[in-house]
Amino acid sequence: MAIIEAVRATIRRLHCSQRTEEAIVHWIRQFIRFHSGKHPPQMGAEEVTAFLNELAVARRTAASTQNQALCVLLFLYKWVLDLQIPRLEALERARRPEHLPSVLSRHETLTLLEHLVPPVRLIGELLYGSGLRLLEALSIRVQDVDLDRRQIMVRRGKGQHDRPALLPA
């Protein structure tokens, strides 16, 4: 698809991460599929609103999911197609959850970690003890671990920045 290649070229020009690129391409493909293969330059605010309302009402997605899809479509029209989308008047917003997510207790967390087998257990302990993101934990190299200072150097983490993280006991 020519539109997907244009999207990928724009994303790479803006130096976005590979995961961001995958997410953007995923949502654009969902949008095109929802409208039976119709090309985005031929669609406007009505089609965008219909897709986002489908996500919120029929598929009952989370508000953050609908917001992500909205941001992707705004990116597509502004940065790739260089088109202006009029105000989305009939957009139904997905509802935010009314309850807070539950958090595992210390005992539940330790029980969960005990049931993991190596090397997945080590990764789980790193995620829990140091606050690393999954891809950060999976990309740690030996030279990134400083046992004397008890820290891990996270290379090219979120936002492509290097940062130190705690090395848990």
According to the 3-state scheme, what is the secondary structure of 79-148?
HHCCCCCCCCCCCCCCCCCCCCCCCCCHHHHHHHHHCCCCCHHHHHHHHHHHCCCHHHHHCCCHHHEECC
**Could you say which DSSP state residue 169 is in?**
-
Domain 2-80 is found in CATH 1.10.150.130? yes
Tokens representing residue 74 in the block: 């705004």
**How would you list the strands of the sheet with 145-146, edge to edge?**
145-146, 151-154, 163-166
What was the pLDDT predicted at 82? 93
Give, for all 169 residues of the chain, the pLDDT tens digit.
699 999 999 999 999 989 999 999 999 999 999 999 999 999 999 999 999 999 999 999 999 999 999 999 999 999 999 998 888 888 988 887 777 778 899 999 999 999 999 999 999 999 999 989 998 999 999 999 999 999 999 988 777 788 999 998 8
| pTM exceeds cut of 0.85 | no
Q: Smallest Cα–Cα separation from 104: which of 96, 114, 112? A: 112
What was the pLDDT predicted at 47? 94
Distance of alpha carbon 140 from alpha carbon 73, whole angstroms: 34
Q: At what angle do helices 63-75 and 18-34 cross, to 10 degrees?
A: 90
Largest CA distance in the chain: 60
What was the pLDDT predicted at 1? 65
Helix/strand/coil percent split, the chain, to 5? 55, 5, 40
